[in-house]
Structures are given as structure tokens and as C-alpha cells.
Structure 1
Amino acid sequence: MAQYDNTNTFALFKNDQGDNPKRPNYTGNMNVDGIEFRISGWIREGANGKFISGTVQLKEPKAEVRGKPVVEGADEDVPF
């Protein structure tokens, strides 16, 4: 099966989660020249009717969860 090229595309989905009145009405992802972005859109009303305004943020890589570092020879200093 051929791999679909998502370069220079975006997708918005209706955001039904939460009761916060400031939450975006739509959220999604956008790819511009291979760089991933997170997009949000709000339904607004102006003099010419309804429209969607939005924001774009660089998608940060997920933080790696790490445990406590293991220190070599730490048991050698224990007096018992």
C-alpha cells in the first residue's frame, strides 16, 4: 500500500470536550514543508457573517518520561 504524503495539508475536527467557554470550537494538525503544527479555531461573528479565526502553534515533541537516574557505586558509601 502506498504511503500518503501529508505535507502541506491540515485537518480540523469539532472539539466537543469540556465546558470551558474559551475552548476552541475546532482543533487539528497542520503540516507545512514537513513541520508539524497544532491548530485551533473559534467560530466568530462579524459584520459580514460568521467566520473561523484561529491560532497555530509549533507541535512540540512529547517529553520522555524518565525515572530516577541510577548512580554507579552509590551503595559503597553506605556505612552499614
Structure 2
Amino acid sequence: MANDYDDTNRGVLFKNKYKEKESQPDYKGDINVEGKELEIAAWIKTSKAGNKFMSLSVSEPYEERQQPKKSGSITPISSSVEEVTTVTVGDPGNDDDSATVEDIP
């Protein structure tokens, strides 16, 4: 159903009824910034002077963060880590104490 109004540059916050940890936001919602839909989160904090305020965070929608990038936009990352084929466990002089990478859980 289409909105009967323009919600550009507007947002909404709802109490987070699933909050289990202090690190999770007190309020969650959506905001439209210049036509782009974003998620917004808010934490109720208290300043050193004792005044309550909201600390806000804005992020890409969860579904968009989970989708892989388009194949044309993948940037290769070079790694300086060399491939490891054997890990020594115990006495390096005893072949029975060595394990391959595949043996490590």
C-alpha cells in the first residue's frame, strides 16, 4: 500500500521489546534520508550532569547488509598470510606429533 504522504526526510522509532543486553538499542526504527531508506537505532543515556538524552545510530537496512555485492563491484583483497600445510604439535623431532591443517577442528 502506497503512502498518502511524502515520507522523505522523516523517520520513526519504536521501543525495542526484544532488548536483552545493554549494548542493544532501546528504540529501533526506519528513517528516509533524501529518498534512501535506512535503519535507525537509539539508546537512552544519561550525561555526566544527569540529563537524559538519546544516542543515535543509522545504518543500511539489514537485508541489504546481508546480500553479497554485485560481481562487478568486488574488490580483491590481497593477503600476506602464507598457506600453512603442517602444524607441529609437541616434539618437532617426532613425526607422530604432527598434524595437517585438515586434522584441526
Report TM bin, short chain.
Answer: 0.5 to 0.7
Code of the residue aligned with 1:57 in structure 2: it is S
> What CA distance in whole angstroms lies between the structure 1 residues aligned with 2:65 and 2:20?
27
Query: What are structure 1's unaligned runs of at least 5 residues?
Result: 64-80
Normalising by structure 1, report the TM-score: 0.67
Higher RCO (CA-CA < 8 Å; seq separation 6+): 1
1:58 Cα shift?
2.0
In the alignment of these two chains, the number of paired residues is 63
Partners of 1:56 and 1:50 in 2: how far apart? Answer: 20
CA drift at 1:48: 5.1
Query: Runs (4+) of structure 1 moved beyond 3 Å?
Result: none
Match of 1:58 in 2: 60
Give the match for residue 46 of structure 2: 45
Structure with greater Cα Rg = 2
Deviations 1:13-56 (A, max 9, x none): 00111422211000000001110110000000002500000110
Structure 1 residue identity aligned to 2:21? N
Please, what TM-score do these two structures have when normalized by structure 2?
0.52
More helix by share: 2
Percent of residue pairs identical: 39
What is the Cα-based RMSD across aligned positions, in Å? 2.2
For 2:30, the equivalent position in structure 1 comes to 29
Residue type matched to 2:57 in 1? T
